Amino acid sequence: MIDMFKSLYQYRGFIVSSIKRDFQSRYQSSMLGAIWLVLQPLAMILVYTLVFSQVMKARMPDNSGSFAYSIYLCSGVLTWGLFTEILDKSQGVFINNANLIKKLSFPKICLPFIVVASAVLNFLIIFSLFLIFLIFTGNFPGWLILTMLPVILLQIAFATGLGMIFGVVNVFFRDVGQFVSVLLQFWFWFTPIVYVLNSLPQWAHKILMYNPVARLMQSYQGIFAYHKMPDWGSLVPVLILAIIFCAYGLILFRRHAAEMVDEL
C-alpha cells in the first residue's frame, strides 16, 4: 500500500497532465465546450422534475417546500452521476489505454486514480452550482454540509474498488463492459433517486435497503432535503463492502498486472 502511494506521488506530473488532457479532450471540439458538463445533468433533472413533480403530482411525504422534490432529486442524481462515471470508466480503463500501457513504462495503478480524479473534478464543478442554487433558495443545510464529506469518500471508495475489479476482469472477459452498462440501468431504478423510499410498501423498503447505494443516497437526501445527519449505522455495511472491494481489486490488479499487458 505504501509503495502504491509512493508511485502515485512520483508520477504526480503524469497524473495531473492526464487529468487535464482528459478534461480538455471531452469538450475542445464542441461549440459549447465545458458547458455540456452542466447541461447534461441539468436536462435530466428538469425532465424528471417535470414528469414526477408536476405531471404525476409526486409529493414529498414529510417536506412540502417549493423546491423539496427538486432538491431531493438533485442530491441523488448528481451523486449517482459520480458513482456511474467512476464505475463505467474504471471497467474500461485498461482496455482504453492499451496503447499507453504497451508503449510507456509507468505504474499502471495511476490509470484508475486518473479516472477517479477526473470524475471527482467533474462532480465538483456541477455540485458547486447545486450549492449556489441551495443558497439562493434558502435551503442550504449549513454545517450539515460537512457530514457529506465522509459519505462521498465512502461512495468513491466503494465505486473505485468495484470498478477496479471490473476493470481487471474486463481485460480477459470483454463481456464485462456490456454487463456493467446493463447493470447500471437496473441499479439506477433499484435506488431511491427519482422516487421517495418512504412512499413504497414496507416490503419494498426492506428489499431496497440491501442495495448499498440506496443507503448512500438516503444520506445525501437526508442532508439536503431534510437537513438531517446521516444514519452512520446504516453506512457500516457499505464501509465493509468498500474495504472488501478495494482490497480484492488491488489483489487482482497485482496478481494479473503482467498478464494484462500480454492480453492487451
For the chain, what is the mean pLDDT?
84
Cell numbers placing 61: 411525504
What's the number of domains the chain is made of?
1
Averaged pLDDT for residues 237-262: 89
Residue 154 placed within a domain: yes
Residue 146 placed within a domain: yes
Q: Answer for the pair 69, 48: CB distance below 8 angstroms, yes or no.
A: no
Looking at the chain, list the stretches that DSSP marks H as alpha helix, in order from N- to C-terminal side: 2-10, 12-27, 35-48, 68-91, 93-96, 98-103, 110-136, 148-172, 175-189, 202-208, 212-225, 236-263
DSSP letter at 226?
Answer: S
Phi first, then psi, for residue 200 (nearest 5°) are: -90, 160
Residue 233 pLDDT class (50, 70, 90 cuts): very high
Residue 29 placed within a domain: no
Residue 85 placed within a domain: yes
What percent of the chain stands above pLDDT 70? Answer: 88
Residue 223 placed within a domain: yes
Residue 30 placed within a domain: no
Secondary structure of residue 262 in the 3-state scheme:
helix
Residue 123 placed within a domain: yes
Residue 241 placed within a domain: yes
Residue 130 belongs to domain spanning: 35-263
According to the model, what pLDDT value does residue 81 have? 92
Buried b (16+ CB within 10 A) or exposed e, 97-136: beeebeeeeebbbbbbbbbbebbbebbeebbeebeeebee
According to the model, what pLDDT value does residue 34 have? 61
Using a 10 angstrom Cβ sphere, with 0-12 exposed, 13-18 middle and 19 or more buried, the burial of residue 17 is exposed
pLDDT in tens, 77-131: 999 999 999 999 999 998 888 888 877 777 788 888 899 999 998 898 888 888 8
